Amino acid sequence: MSVASPPRLRPAPLRVLTAVPLCDGHDSAIVTINLELARHGAEVIYLGYHQAASAIARAAVQEDVHAVGLSSYNGGHRVFFREVRAQLRARGAADIPIFGGGGGTITAADARVMQRSGVDRIFFAGTPLAEMTRAITGDYARELRPDAKLRGDRALARAITLAESRSGLRPDPRKTARQRTRSASFVVGVAGPGGAGKSTLIDELAARFLRARRSRRLAILANDPSHPETRGAILGDRVSALYAQDERVFFRSLATRGSLTGLSAAAPAAIEILRRRGGFDLIFVESVGVGQESDPFRVFRQGEKLVDAVLFVLPPHYGGRIQLQKIALLDGADLVVLNKCDDPRASAAKAELGARLAANGRNQLLHTTIAAQHRDPGTDALCAAIGRLAGLESAGGEKPCHLCIGA
Architecture of domain 15-139: 3-Layer(aba) Sandwich (3.40)
Confidence of residue 304 (pLDDT cuts 50, 70, 90): confident
Residue 393 pLDDT: 64
Is residue 177's pLDDT more than 70? no
- pLDDT greater at residue 176 or residue 36: 36
Residue 302 pLDDT: 66
Q: State the average pLDDT for the chain.
A: 89
Distance CA 382, CA 385 (A): 5
Residue 26 pLDDT: 85
| 3-class secondary structure per residue, 214-280 | CCCCEEEEEEECCCCCCCCEEECHHHHCCCCCCCCEEEEEEECCCCCCCCCCCHHHHHHHHHHHCCC
Distance CA 289, CA 133 (A): 29
One fold for both 15-139 and 174-403?
yes
Is residue 395's pLDDT more than 50? no
DSSP 179: H
Is residue 285's pLDDT more than 90? yes
Confidence of residue 222 (pLDDT cuts 50, 70, 90): very high
Residue 307 pLDDT: 96
Residue-wise pLDDT for 241-261, tens only, equals 999 999 999 999 999 999 999
Say which CATH class 174-403 falls into. Answer: alpha beta
Confidence of residue 399 (pLDDT cuts 50, 70, 90): very low
Is residue 400's pLDDT more than 50? no
Domain boundaries, the chain: 15-139, 174-403
- H-helix or E-strand containing 360? helix 346-360
